[in-house]
Amino acid sequence: MRIAGSLIALATLSLFLPAAPGYDAWAWLLWGRELGSLSLDTAAGPAWKPLPVAVAALLAPAGSAAPELWLVVARAGALAAVVLAAALAWRLAARHPRPVRIGAAALAAAGVLLTGGFVRHAAVGDAEPLLVALMLGAFERALAGRQRQALGLGALAALVRPETWPFLAAYALWRRREDRVLLVGIAVAVPAAWIVPELLSSGELLRSADRARVPNPGQPATADLPSLATLAVAGGLVFLPTAAAALFARGRAAVPALAGAAWIALVAAMSEVGFSGEPRYVLPGAALLAVSGGAGAARLWEVVAAGRPSGGAPRLAAAAALALAALAVAAVRATDVAELGPRLAPQERLAADLARAIDAAGGRDAVLACGRPAVGRYRGTLLAWHLDVPKRSVLADGEPGAITFRSRLTPAAAPAPPPRGRTVAANARWTVTARCG
C-alpha cells in the first residue's frame, strides 16, 4: 500500500506538467458521466472499453475535476508498470548476486519507461500504459504463486484490450481444475462487459469492432502490407538493448519475451484484417520483452564473468557493446521524453480555452439552442464533454454546423476556413461562429 500511495502521489504531482486527456480519454470521461446518470450513448466515438469507462464513472461525481483525476489514474498505472517491470526482472534473476539483480531490475524498468511513446500515452491518459501495469502485475502474481490474483488482474486487462483474451484463455485452461467457478465467472463477465453496454446504448452488437477497423490516416492498416508495417513500427518502439538481451533469457525468464513477441505478432495479424495496428497497441509486447531483457542481461553478465581468460575478452567486449548501445538509445529516448512538455502544452490550453469560449458564447444552453454544434476532426469528444451531450450530437467531420467551434488542432496546423455566420466568441485558440438568430 505504501508503494501504491507513493505512485499516486507522484502521478498527482505530474499534473503540474502540461497535458490534457486525449481523444479516447475524453470519450471515456463522457461515457462514464452518462453511465452514472443511466443515459449511456455510445453510438458515436471511439471503440468501447469497459474498464476505462467504469473508472470514469467512478470519477464522474468529481465534476470538472474528473479529467485531472483520470490523468492521475492513467499516470499512476504507467508508474506502476515501470515498478512491476523492475520487480519481475528482480524475481526472474533470483539466482544471481544482488548487484546483478539490481542491474537487471533497472534495465527492465528503463526498457519499459523508454519504450517509444510510453510516456506520451501515459501523459494524455491513454489506457495502454495502465494495461501494461495490469499485465505485468498478472505475471508477477503468477510467479509468486498467487494464481487467483493473477487471474483477477488478467481479467481486468481483458477489459482494456481484446488482444488480451487469447493469453487469458491460455492461462485459464492451465488453471481449469483449480478455479473452475472463478474461470466460468470470468468467461461470462468479460465478454458481457464488452457487448451488453454497447448493444443497449448504441443498438449495434459490433459497433466497437467496426469502429476499430477504421484506421486513422498513416496507420499500418493503410499500408500495402499491414502486418509488415506493424512489425516495422514495433521495431522502432521497443527499447532495442533490452530486446537484444532478452535473447539470453532462459527458462521461465524467457516466458515474458515469448508472450511479448506473440502479442506483437497478434497485433500485426489483426492489422491484416483491417484493425489499425497503431503503435500504442504494441506497448504491452514491448514491455514484456523488456522484462525478459533485464533477466537476460543478468545471465549475459554471468556468462561474461565466468568466461575463461582466452574467451573473456570477446565476451566482455560484447557486454560493453550492449551497455554502450543501451546508453545511446536511452539518451535519444530521454531527449524525446524531455521534449514532450512543449508538444503537449498546446492541448492543455486548447481544452482550457474551449470552456472559456463556451462561456463567452452564452453558455451551454445558448450554444445548444442555436442548433447542432460543429468542431474540427479529433475534437468531437472534447466538445461533447464540455457541452455534456452525447458524442453523436456534435458534428466533427470538419464541416460547419449551426454553431461552429473553430481551432487549430496543433500550433503548426493550418486553420480551418471560417464558416458563414457571425462571430459570437473568440479567444487565443477558438473562434465560435453562429448562423442562428
Domain edge (last residue) among 317, 338, 359: 338
Q: Specify whether 298 is located in the same domain as 362.
A: no
321 plus 363 within the same structural domain: no
Say yes or no to pLDDT of 437 above 80.
no
Same-domain check for residues 209 and 224: yes
Domain count, the chain: 2
Residues 57 and 197 in one domain: yes
Task: Give the C-alpha separation, 279 to 230, whole Å.
Answer: 8
β-bridge mates for residue 432, sequence order: 405, 425
Asked if 117 and 279 touch (Cβ cutoff 8 Å), the reply is yes
Last residue of a domain, one of 338, 372, 407: 338
Q: Using one digit for the tens of pLDDT, what is the confidence trace for 276-304?
A: 778 899 999 999 999 999 999 888 877 76
pLDDT for 310 beyond 70: no
Identity of residue 325? A
How many Å from the N-terminal Cα to the C-terminal Cα in the chain?
Answer: 58
Distance CA 174, CA 179 (A): 10
Amino acid identity, residue 142?
A
Q: For position 307, what pLDDT does the model report?
A: 58
Same domain, 346 and 333: no
Of 144, 136, 53, 147, nearest in space to 94 by CA: 144
Q: Are residues 183 and 75 located together in one domain of the fold?
A: yes
Co-location of 318 and 378 in the same domain? no
Instruction: Provide the domain limits for residue 361.
Output: 342-434
- Name the most confidently modeled range: 9-13, 131-135, 145-149, 219-223: 131-135
How sure is the predictor about 323, in pLDDT bands with cuts at 50, 70 and 90?
low
Q: Are 179 and 237 in contact (CB under 8 A)?
A: no
pLDDT tens-digit profile of 227-276? 898 889 888 888 888 888 888 888 899 999 999 999 999 999 998 888 87
Give dist(CA 175, CA 148) in Å, integer. 9
Kindly state whether residues 375 and 416 are assigned to the same domain: yes
Q: How confident is the model over 16-26, as a mean pLDDT?
A: 89
- Indicate the pLDDT class of residue 408, thresholds 50, 70 and 90: confident
375 and 310 housed in the same domain:
no
pLDDT-above-90 percentage for the chain: 48
Sorting pLDDT into bands at 50, 70 and 90, what band is 309?
Answer: very low
pLDDT for res 417: 67
Are residue 321 and residue 352 in the same domain, yes or no? no
Last residue of a domain, one of 338, 359, 387: 338
Pair (321, 348) in one structural domain = no
The reply to whether 261 and 383 lie within a common domain is: no
Burial letters 171-193, b for 16+ CB under 10 A, else e = bbeebeeeeeebbeebeeebeeb
Question: What is the DSSP code string of 283-315?
Answer: HHHHHHHHHHHHHHHHHHHHHHHT--HHHHHHH
